[in-house]
Amino acid sequence: MYLSRPPACVLLIATRLIGDVLLNTPLLRSLRLAWPQARIDILVFRNTAAILAGNPDCDEVIVVDPHSDGAAKRQLVRRLWRRYDLAITTQGGDRPYLYAWLASPRRLGLIGEPGLKSLWKRAMAECVLLDDLHTHTVVQNLVLAERLGIAPHYEVVPPIEAEAESVLDRCLPFDWRRVSFAVFHPFPNWRYKRWTDAGWQALLAELQRRGWWGVLSGGPDAEEVASCAALAAAWPGTASSLAGRASFGTLARLLTQARCYIGPDTSTTHLAAACGTPTLAMFGPSNPVKWGPWPKGCTSSPWQWQVQPWQRAGNVLLLQGPGDCVPCLHEGCERHRDSLSDCLIRLSADTVLAALDALLADHTN
């Protein structure tokens, strides 16, 4: 896309899930470093905005509800209408392209397929075809930076919370600045990404043997909070739950202090990798090439389709469950988000512990 002069106002549209928004921060940083004088805003769903807390590369985070009423839609139209010199969408859906059309006469975005269904998008914007299989999300988003003629920057930027340390002092029953601890994320929202309760129990037993604390992270969902609390309660004096009590910015501060992090394919795992924490990511059906956690300092796609027993890049070790079908790219063995994934169920605690030892062998705090 040819720009005769740097834009004064830019809108980045990233209306997807929390992890997707976090993986947009390298593109956001690329825009900021290329155009330091520009106003750069980002449009996201309301429930994902917290992952951008304190982000130094955007001027405003504009939130939208995915199921907003007519009044909210009209307000958004007035808020966006031709306020920007350039609108960029990393999402190929219809609604992000409508947002881009509202916001600016100059539009750039990713599209999922080049057929007739996307003809109207290609008519109203400069489009780049999305590779949803063989290109990491960070690299795919940065193709848009290259199309703009600006240098790509690959850093995933964690959120910042000014009150993080005071929250941790209040919520954790041990001196987290001095005591060794690991952070776990045992209960992702979607069941098909979950490991086994017995596996997490075995990891907590190993932490107890090492004299480490286990800190359980989790979102505010009532089932997730209750599950994390029950798991922590089974290991008094060894484990504590922060589920539902810590913002992403607070969690980022904790992760910078942790000896390691262990979790499935979820936004918190991406956050741990971005913080430079030694991160063990347990993957089952998910495509690691596309969604593997982006290691701190990485500048090229680090992951392969299937490597046994595991693959390593920077501060991240990616462990895939067993089976010739891995990764199947389906949402569980029954093809829905509340089904289980046999590859994760069959992933033994011994294998995870061996992977953890391999991860920690090159990292000391």
pLDDT in tens, 237-287: 999 999 999 999 999 999 999 999 999 999 999 999 999 999 999 999 999
Return the CATH superfamily for domain 9-147. Glycogen Phosphorylase B; (3.40.50.2000)
Taking the C-alpha atoms of residue 191 and residue 224, their distance in angstroms, rounded to an integer, is 11
* Burial of residue 354 (number of CB atoms within 10 Å: 0-12, 13-18, 19+): middle
Q: What is the mean pLDDT of residues 291-303?
A: 96
Q: What is the mean pLDDT of residues 229-233?
A: 95
Rg (CA), the chain: 21
Choosing among 3.40.50.300, 3.40.50.1370, 1.10.1670.40, 3.40.50.2000, the CATH entry for 164-360 is 3.40.50.2000
Residue ranges in the chain assigned as alpha helix (H): 18-22, 25-34, 70-80, 94-103, 119-124, 137-147, 164-171, 197-210, 222-233, 248-257, 267-274, 288-291, 342-345, 349-360
DSSP 8-state secondary structure symbol assigned to residue 113: -
Collect all residues with Cβ–Cβ distance below 8 Å to 170 and sequence separation of at least 6. none
Residue 132 identity = D
Collect all residues with Cβ–Cβ distance below 8 Å to 59 and sequence separation of at least 6. 39, 40, 41
Q: Which of 39-53, 61-75, 223-237 has the lowest mean pLDDT?
A: 61-75
Query: What is the number of other CB atoms lying within 10 angstroms of the CB of residue 59?
Result: 13
3-state DSSP assignment of residue 319: strand
pLDDT(362) > 70: yes
Taking the C-alpha atoms of residue 253 and residue 255, their distance in angstroms, rounded to an integer, is 5
The confidence score (pLDDT) of residue 363 equals: 65
pLDDT(224) > 60: yes
Sequence spans of domains, the chain = 9-147, 164-360
**CA-based end-to-end distance of the chain:** 45
Q: What is the pTM for the complete model shown?
A: 0.96
Structure tokens at 247: 């913002």
pLDDT(365) > 60: no
Model confidence pLDDT, tens digit, residues 304-359: 998 888 999 999 999 999 999 999 999 999 999 999 999 999 999 999 999 999 99
3-state DSSP assignment of residue 330: coil
pLDDT confidence tier of residue 364, bands split at 50, 70 and 90? low
Model confidence pLDDT, tens digit, residues 161-188: 999 999 999 999 999 999 999 999 999 9
